[in-house]
Amino acid sequence: MLKLAVILVLLMLGILATKYLDEKSQQKLLVGLGIIVGCAVAFLMATELMR
pLDDT of residue 10: 81
| Nearest residue to 37 (alpha-carbon basis) of 1, 3, 2, 11 | 11
> pLDDT under 70 in the chain at which residues?
1
The residues spanned by each domain of the chain are 1-50
pLDDT at 48: 87
DSSP 3-51: HHHHHHHHHHHHHHHGGGS-HHHHHHHHHHHHHHHHHHHHHHHHHHHH-
- How far apart (Å, rounded) are the C-alpha atoms in residues 9 and 6? 5
pLDDT at position 22 is 81
**What would the pLDDT profile of 13-22 be if each residue is shown by its tens digit?**
877 877 788 8
Calculate what percentage of the chain has a pLDDT beyond 90.
Answer: 2
